[in-house]
Chain A
Amino acid sequence: NAGVTQTPKFHILKIGQSMTLQCTQDMNHNYMYWYRQDPGMGLKLIYYSVGAGITDKGEVPNGYNVSRSTTEDFPLRLELAAPSQTSVYFCASSDVDRGFPGYTFGSGTRLTVV
């Protein structure tokens, strides 16, 4: 099925370790986003990309890095994991440069840093 695929769905990481959250979309969307959702809170933008090779910081980028080598993939890298990075991470993509925007979200990755 077309959409945004995130892996893994769950992961436990030790403090100081690093890992990459994967995100792939097959809708040929130019725009992709990473959000984090802390318990009982809304989604906050970490990084976004407007096309292959172009990324920029969102509201809460510290401790994260991204890359966008292809239109389909937008991985999120956590370096030196900290307990404050325990959260649910959502990847999303969007279409329509003009007109009414449509967003597709992945099913999220629940990450626990211990």
Chain B
Amino acid sequence: AQTVTQSQPEMSVQEAETVTLSCTYDTSESDYYLFWYKQPPSRQMILVIRQEAYKQQNATENRFSVNFQKAAKSFSLKISDSQLGDAAMYFCAYRSAFGPRDTGRRALTFGSGTRLQVQP
């Protein structure tokens, strides 16, 4: 079974600064998807960014970018120009790139999360 580890329970960043959240995962698979989700106090799960393992190029979405190191099984999230609205829990998640008959691997596996505080 795959596991996802987020070793930073809490992080803090000054407004307008840059912060990097860490995520490592354990898998024997060669093809998979990785995600970062944001969970504000409203509890809603909001997709921040996603990456396909077979793509070498790191994904970017505006102020959010990832550093995907496949050999190291690392998938860190960089938030640039941090804003007060970025304060939330951030979850890293993994999903297999399954075969057509492999029905059990469509679910996401989540890490334990990193709580990000943004200081004004």
With a CB–CB cut-off of 8 A, which chain B residues contact A44?
110
In the assembled complex, the Cα of A9 lies from the Cα of B51 at a distance in Å of 32
Answer yes or no: A58 CB below 8 A from chain B CBs.
yes
> How many angstroms from the CA of A97 to the CA of B95 in the assembled complex?
13
CA distance A42 to B39 in the complex (A): 11
Residues of B within 8 A of A40 (CB): 9, 112-113
Q: Is the interface of B mostly helix, strand, loop or mixed?
A: loop
Q: Are A50 and B103 in contact (CB under 8 A)?
A: yes
Given A88-B43, A101-B95, answer yes or no on A41-B112 (Cβ-Cβ < 8 Å). Answer: yes
Categorize the interface residue count of chain B.
20 to 34
| C-alpha spacing A41/B44, complex, angstroms | 15
Q: What's the tally of chain A residues with a CB closer than 8 Å to chain B? A: 28
A107 is an interface residue with CB less than 8 A from chain B: yes
**Please, which residues of chain A bring their CB within 8 A of the CB of B50?**
100
When chains A and B are docked, how far (Å) is the Cα of A110 from the Cα of B95? 26
Residues of chain A with a CB closer than 8 A to B106's CB: 31, 48, 50, 94, 101
Check if B86 is an interface residue, CB within 8 A of chain A: no
Instruction: Give chain B residues whose Cβ lies under 8 Å from the Cβ of A42.
Output: 4, 6, 91, 110-113
When A and B form their complex, which 8 residue pairs have the shortest distance between CB atoms, in order from nearest? A42-B110, A105-B45, A108-B43, A43-B110, A50-B103, A42-B112, A45-B107, A48-B107
Residues of B within 8 A of A (CB): 4, 6, 9, 33, 42-45, 47, 50, 52, 91, 95, 100, 103-104, 106-113
What are 7 contact pairs spanning A and B, CB under 8 A? A33-B107, A42-B113, A45-B109, A48-B104, A105-B44, A107-B43, A110-B43
